[in-house]
Chains A and B, each alone.
Chain A
Amino acid sequence: QKEVEQDPGPLSVPEGAIVSLNCTYSNSAFQYFMWYRQYSRKGPELLMYTYSSGNKEDGRFTAQVDKSSKYISLFIRDSQPSDSATYLCAMSGLGGATNKLIFGTGTLLAVQP
């Protein structure tokens, strides 16, 4: 079993829809939870960062972490065609948010105009 599980999709939604992306994990030591966005032929870029449990909002994006269920989510409101990309969840434990990041396999999202 992988430490981090993520539905690969693809997920296709109409412009303006609310998108929900999720990951589950098995390692209780994870404390840092991140969402990276990767456009085709580009490197991943950090979208959201959360330490421990709770919610974090940044514009149209909301990240949620439920450590008791070992479940994290990313919500995108009013989705735009420019949001079309692969979304990767990533986690790390002791040692810092960038230390030995464990990534999910990524969910490919397509927002149709």
Chain B
Amino acid sequence: DSGVTQTPKHLITATGQRVTLRCSPRSGDLSVYWYQQSLDQGLQFLIQYYNGEERAKGNILERFSAQQFPDLHSELNLSSLELGDSALYFCASSVDPGATEAFFGQGTRLTVV
């Protein structure tokens, strides 16, 4: 168990809908990262937060947004969902952006039908 908790584990929703994925980082970790894993693209970096502030952005779609709350948990919001958004979404955390290791959660499997 990495100590990173993601909910829900599975999510099935229809096209056009909006969902929220939740992540609780390891105790003491200030940095949170979101990744998308699909069969054709592999693991893709979406966005990073550090102590509540956005720190770095990857190839995150405009339909996606995220935030990190004062208690350090993070949420990834996906809206106007398309079939191609079906993927595994991972959250990872580290003590800070300079840490040598990021700890990954178990992921949320999103299926858009």
Contacts and interface: CB of A to CB of B under 8 A. Distances in A.
A49 B99 CA distance: 11
A44 B105 contact: no
A97 B56 contact: no
Interface residues of B, number: 29
Interface stretch (B12-20, B66-74, B90-98): B90-98
B98 A44 contact: no
A95 B33 CA distance: 14
Interface residues of A, number: 22
Interface stretch (A12-20, A58-66, A67-75, A99-107): A99-107
A103 B107 contact: no
A96 interface: yes
Interface string A31-43: 0100000000111
B43 interface: yes
Contacts of A99: 48, 55-56, 97-98
Given A43-B4, A45-B2, A103-B42, A98 B58 contact: no
